[in-house]
Amino acid sequence: MMAEATRIGPEETLQKILSGQALLVCAYNDDTVFEQVRLEGAISLSDFQSKLPSLPKSQEIIFYCA
């Protein structure tokens, strides 16, 4: 069963990313857009999809779009 999406603020996001608690993923499926709106520490959606099989089920994932 998949957990419901929860909105969090930028401060909480930054804390989770810096602590390694969460993975930050740009929700755009276009690498050009990803380069334009990239946040520090974020990976592209295509990178996320390739890593998905090896991510632990407990890994917190934060998606963003700008």
Domain locations in the chain? 10-64
Contact 39, 64 (CB under 8 A): yes
DSSP one-letter code for 19 = T
33: left (phi over 0), alpha (psi -120 to 50) or beta: alpha
What is the per-residue pLDDT for 16? 95
Give the integer Cα–Cα distance in Å for 52 and 36.
23
User: What confidence tens digit (pLDDT) does each residue in 24-64 have?
Assistant: 999 999 999 999 999 989 999 999 999 999 999 889 999 99
User: What confidence tens digit (pLDDT) does each residue in 4-31 have?
Assistant: 888 999 999 999 999 999 999 999 999 9
Q: Quick one: how far is CA 33 from the chain centroid?
A: 15
